[in-house]
Structure 1
Amino acid sequence: MGKLSKKFVTHFTTIPNAIAQNDELSWKARGIFLYLASMPSNWQFYEVEVAKHASDGRDALRAGLKELEEKGYLKRYRKRNDKGQVVDSEWILSDVPMFDKPMLNEPMLEKPTQVNRTLQNKYLTKKDNTKERYI
């Protein structure tokens, strides 16, 4: 059995536009986010039970959950006993991406080499008679 924790509290389900309109999330992931957000904090559940509430099935649920995890909207922790068996799990759902390695506010080097370096596009091609070559 798992437990869901949310990092936002409302009396009805609200979904930020940043999630609803995020083109990097599939419709499946957005729908799963909406369903999980509609549940109360500390909701006790089983993944199999969640899968029963949609026609897509367990594999589609798992794919959507993995997508939410990769984009930082969901973190899942599993608690195991001394035999290595999963005994409990916790899912943390957030309306802003959570990452283990936050972006740095300051550059890593004290004196960066160049601030606005010009990048070269190595994929530009130039036709030389019948051959293409990279510039």
Structure 2
Amino acid sequence: MPVFRVPKRNNYTVMSNVHLLDPNLSLKAKGLLSYMLSNPDDWDYSIRGLASQNRDGPDSVRTGLKELEAHHYLKREKVRDAQGHIIDYDYQIFEQPFS
């Protein structure tokens, strides 16, 4: 079966194949991580931000993020205000699992 590729002159992403070849990740998690790696570092990686740019809703994005956390491709830390309420999450995204 032929694969039709396009020249990589602009609008493409270079990333490691580690997560794509990881048999422990679902296709949803692989696609979500690939999408996250294709965006700039200052992009809105919140559940709402990810869901707004894709067909999957917030619940689907949340389960994908939890899977990436479980397999050490993502770290999320809660950001709290002075009263201790969660106001945001700080995301650390890894091309290969951290140890």
TM-score, normalising length from structure 1?
A: 0.59
**1:78 equivalenced with 2:61 (yes/no):** no
Segments ≥4 residues shifted beyond 6 Å: none
Given residue 94 of structure 2, which amino acid in structure 1 is its aligned partner?
Answer: S
Question: Quick check: which has more Rg, 1 or 2?
Answer: 1
Could you tell me how far 1:47 is from its partner in structure 2? Answer: 2.0
Pair 1:45–1:95, CA change in 2 (3 A): closer
Distance of 1:46 and 1:68 partners within structure 2: 14
1:14-93 equivalence runs, <5 A: 14-93=14-93
Pair 1:45–1:98, CA change in 2 (3 A): closer
Question: Over aligned residues, Cα RMSD in angstroms?
Answer: 1.8
Could you tell me how far 1:50 is from its partner in structure 2? Answer: 1.2
Pair 1:19–1:45, CA change in 2 (3 A): closer
Pair 1:52–1:44, CA change in 2 (3 A): closer
Distance of 1:44 and 1:56 partners within structure 2: 16
| Matched pairs, number | 89
Larger deviation: 46-55 or 88-97? 46-55
TM-score, normalising length from structure 2?
A: 0.78
Q: Which runs of 5+ in 1 are unaligned?
A: 1-10, 100-135
Given residue 74 of structure 1, which amino acid in structure 2 is its aligned partner?
Answer: L
Could you tell me how far 1:18 is from its partner in structure 2? Answer: 1.6
Q: Specify which structure has the higher proportion of strand.
A: 1
Distance of 1:90 and 1:68 partners within structure 2: 15
Q: Which runs of 5+ in 2 are unaligned?
A: 1-10
Given residue 39 of structure 1, which amino acid in structure 2 is its aligned partner?
Answer: N
Q: Specify which structure has the higher proportion of helix.
A: 2
